[in-house]
Amino acid sequence: MQKKYILALDQGTTSSRAVIFNRRSEILGIKSVPLRQIYPEPGWVEHDPEEIWKGQLEALRGVIEDTGISPEEIACIGITNQRETVIVWDKNTGRPVYNGIVWQCRRTAAKCDEIKARGLDTMIRDKTGLVVDAYFSATKIQWILDNVEGVRERALAGELLAGTVDTWLVWNLTGGQLHVTDYTNASRTMLFNINTLEWDRELLETFGIPESMLPKVIPSSGIVGETVEEILGVRIPISGIAGDQQSALFGQGCFEKECAKNTYGTGCFILMNVGKIPVKSNNNLLTTIAWGIGEEIEYALEGSVFNAGSSIQWLRDELKIIETARQADIDAEKVDDTGGVYVVPAYTGLGAPYWDPYARGIIIGITRGTRREHIIRATLESIAFQSRDVFEAMKADAGTEVKVLQVDGGVSVSPFCMQFQADILGIPVNRPAVTETTALGAAHLAGLAVGIWKDKLDIRKEFAEGKTFMPAMDEKTREDKYARWKRAVERSRNWVAE
């Protein structure tokens, strides 16, 4: 039977999904299984690793059943995953020793403050490209070793394994035969040296993590191994792995330097390809590995905005001034502007380029004439303003400007938001025809490894035309609005610091 389909596993923060693509990069089927969020204490976020695996298994079997495609027709599997989330498990039984600690979890913020107070942040930044923050994996693994009874002793005895979600999925897909991660996920742990491409001894000592726990680091595109027959009745090659944001960068076809994408989900994740040499950020962005294909490593600058789609949820669920996300678009266009109102959605602090955990959200510029539509419009505009903050930092770091922004994610379906993004950046914003770019990137990386596509140019031939939003705002208006936004941000900063 001809092997003509690619199965992409997209394991995210709120769901486990499986998507089947054909050789023309068209979606034939999607199956999604929700993932429960666990909040043991304020600011703590966990996932049940067994639930992640069972949900992903249900999704991959479900999409095959729904489409009627035979497993024998699937050429390969690509995996993309929520990044930074970590799991520690017993190498013999496969049982987790604790819940997965999710990337959003802030339980190790004080530990990060302690590391910075010791003056280690510059060393860590130079080696990993990351700022010291609870966002990343190292302090999460350290917390499990220090706080779960008997775990550190078992780790030192070589009984335990650790990994990000891609590692956990591959371990289970291969029946415990493979303990691996790819370059993109390794680069998000705060333990991996992105210059030497290895787990760094000084970093491991800093966080007290035995190297024996960590997976082998492999390319993002390449045959890793095969699934065990019990899963689908046949053995299928696993040939692509990438963290979700790097996968979206690849799925958007950002193969050249200075090409950038913005994924609008709960937050915004903006990545720009900077080529084969890492660019050190002097403006509080992250330097990360974009992907590794064969011996070739490419790098990216990244900026993370904490609140994008979550701001629309706030309007709906907490303020209750809209009933649906689509209503926010409609109401925003009922007024010509925000009436001078600015919303800074720093509910949990500000991400890049500020990295201010003590900032809090504000609504400023209210007058007696302020209406709900002004607040709704200002909230939507805040998503674009925060994205521009990151682009200004990228421009300063890379010494170049992005010519076109590729977009995907839930908020990208909003015509109002995408038009305002084009206006406030002053560049075209392109939304692809296939918006499942995270899964598509995993499919492309996997398919490339098994010869479905010859090279990146071959992949690009399959890109369908999407919709482009052209900037329509004059420069003076754009810069005046942005200057006021910057003033609003300053008033939100350092609000809850002692």
Handedness of CA 413, 415, 417, 421 (dihedral sign): positive
83 marked ligand binding residue:
yes
Q: Is 135 annotated as contributing to ligand binding? A: yes
Q: Is 163 annotated as a binding residue?
A: no
Q: Where are the beta strands (DSSP E) in 349-408?
A: 362-364, 405-408
Pairing type for strands 260-264 and 405-408 reads parallel
Q: What is the DSSP letter of 63?
A: H
User: How open is the CA angle 196-80-228, to the nearest 5 degrees?
Assistant: 100
Q: Which of 50, 58, 65, 63 is nearest to 16 (CA)?
A: 58
Residues 6+ apart with CB under 8 A from 21: 5, 6, 8, 27, 28, 439, 440, 443, 447
**Residue 244 marked ligand-binding:** yes
C-alpha 249/C-alpha 230 separation (Å) is 33
- CA distances to 6, 218, 455 from 450, rounded to whole Å, are 10, 16, 11
Which strands form 46-47's sheet, in the order they lie side by side?
46-47, 100-101, 86-90, 160-164
DSSP label at 426?
A: T
Output the CA torsion sign for 167, 168, 172, 176: positive
Rounded CA-CA distance 286/272 in Å is 11
Give CA–CA dist 167/448, Å, rounded: 21
d(CA 81, CA 102): 12
Pick the closest to residue 300 from 247, 351, 350 (CA basis): 247
The annotation status of 245 as a binding-site residue, yes or no, is: yes
Residues 6 or more apart in contact with residue 288 via CB below 8 angstroms: 129, 130, 184, 187, 188, 194, 246, 271, 299, 300, 301, 302
Q: How many Cα atoms within 13 Å fall on the side-chain side of residue 32?
A: 10
| 15 in a known ligand binding site | yes
Is 410 annotated as contributing to ligand binding? yes
Task: Return the beta strands (E) in 91-143 as ranges.
Answer: 100-101
Q: Which two structure tokens, joined as six digits, stand for 261? A: 């994408």
Please enumerate, by residue number, every residue annotated as part of a binding site for glycerol: 83-84, 135, 244-245
Binding-site residue set for ATP: 13-15, 266, 309, 313, 410
**Residues contributing to the annotated binding site:** 13-15, 17, 83-84, 135, 244-245, 266, 309, 313, 410
Q: Which residues are annotated as a binding site for ADP?
A: 13, 17, 266, 309, 410
Going by the annotation, the residues of the binding site for sn-glycerol 3-phosphate are 13, 83-84, 135, 244
